[in-house]
Copies of this chain bind each other. A is one copy, B any other.
Amino acid sequence: MTEALRVGIAGLGTVGASVVRVLAEKAAELQRQCGRPISVTAVSARNRDADRGVDLSGAQWFNDPVALAKSAEIDVFVELMGGDEGPARDAIKAALDAGRHVVTANKALLAKHGVNLAETAEKKGVLLNYEAAVAGGIPVIKTMREALAGNSVSRVFGILNGTCNYILTRMEAEGLSFEDCLADAQRLGYAEADPTFDIEGNDTAHKLSILTSLAFGSKIAADDIYLEGISNISQADIRAAASLGYRIKLLGVAVRTDSGIEQRVHPTMVPTQSVIAQVHGVTNAVAIQSDILGDLLLVGPGAGGNATASAVIGDIADIAKSQPGFQHGPVFGRPAKELKPYKKAKMRSHAGGYFIRLTVHDRTGVFAAIAKRMADADISLESIVQQADSGLDADVKTVVLVTHETTEAAVRRAVEGITKDGHLTDKAQVIRIERAE
């Protein structure tokens, strides 16, 4: 096993360039760890002439990533182009069909085509590794796919988008508005020019859909995820949360329930004293609850060229340690052909605590009307606080309710009733509470 592992890389942006650089700088160490050299023998990118600060002279250049993927001169095809269709998909498919191992960081592609690609990989007896696709450098795929063997996962949840966590962290720490924090995130390169995909939760949903499949042995169902972004989180929510012992995080949550699997992405109240509440800025975190192990939490860098490169290189090293033709377990933990159809639990039956913030006219009877609507919906309250808010008119008050465990359906019914009563001056704000250690 002293022959070099030949790596072809398609996509030489920040991550791709980091991978090339680290593989060169750490060549001796990686050889010691893997038992054989790893060498980049072929690359492909859009612009051949860009200066990427890395030496590509030893690698064959391909204009066409699909041609690179099929090349007999590589053992592993590393896809770092992005995009859930087109060249990325074509190239990965071509590589697997040609019997090459594949490493990818492409969550959107896996969320859409992961199961099909896994079937091909398993049929061909090659590896499809994707540690970098979820939570960047955090080894959550390895943990769920390998370390938790035999465990039945009941819930997996996490902070999976650094942009959102950066914005929420700064909003809380500095009292800034969502818009100001977003603008700063864009200036610092933590958010895209069009940030919709991050702040509306789509990126989190892609990552969650992969974790859900690993957790429950179900087919990936990224389109069946309940989605709420963070753009309507206000300082009023953050302050009220803090006063009640909560912090707001955008979580992706997948839970096994009696009626199916809940997948949801939404702003979430977590107890201020919980470990995950201390995860600040662009850092990511994934919590996994399982029957044998118990509660596990992994915290680390969720993005960035180097952190992502670290996960890609870990995936490549695992392949380098494998003997040719060796299969290190199924791509999504269970054979792709045996993944169960995704059975969706209705969001209306979601059970949990709720934070409800109401802005109301300061009239006699409002409080009583709200309490009646909650009682009619069979919702029992942990607390109900009427707050004066300096940002509001004198005749407007804030009422914050925290419920005991109830259902989404009951909360929607109650809020609908309260809205109909005509006391609200603004749309009711409803934020789910998640248990966390």
Contact = CB atoms under 8 A, between A and B. Distances in A.
Interface of A: 18, 22-23, 26, 29-30, 32-35, 131, 137-139, 142-143, 146-152, 217, 273-275, 277-279, 283, 290, 292-301, 304, 306-307, 309-311, 313-314, 316-318, 321-323, 326-330, 333-335, 338, 437
Nearest to A306: B292
Nearest to A275: B278
A301 B294 contact: yes
Contacts of A279: 275
Contact of A330 (B33, B138, B273, B283): B33
Contacts of A306: 292-294
Copies in the complex: 2
Given A142-B147, A149-B30, A149-B314, A297 B300 contact: yes
A316 to B, nearest CB: 8
Nearest to A138: B296
Q: What secondary structure prevails in chain A residues at the interface with B?
A: mixed
B297 A298 contact: yes
A276 to B, nearest CB: 9
Nearest to A292: B310
A333 B35 CA distance: 10
A278 B299 CA distance: 13
Nearest to A281: B437
A310 B139 contact: no
Contacts of A296: 137-139, 298-301
Contacts of A275: 275, 278-279, 299
Contacts of A297: 297-300
Contacts of A309: 292
Contacts of A300: 293-297
A149 B295 contact: no
B313 A321 contact: no
Nearest to A323: B326
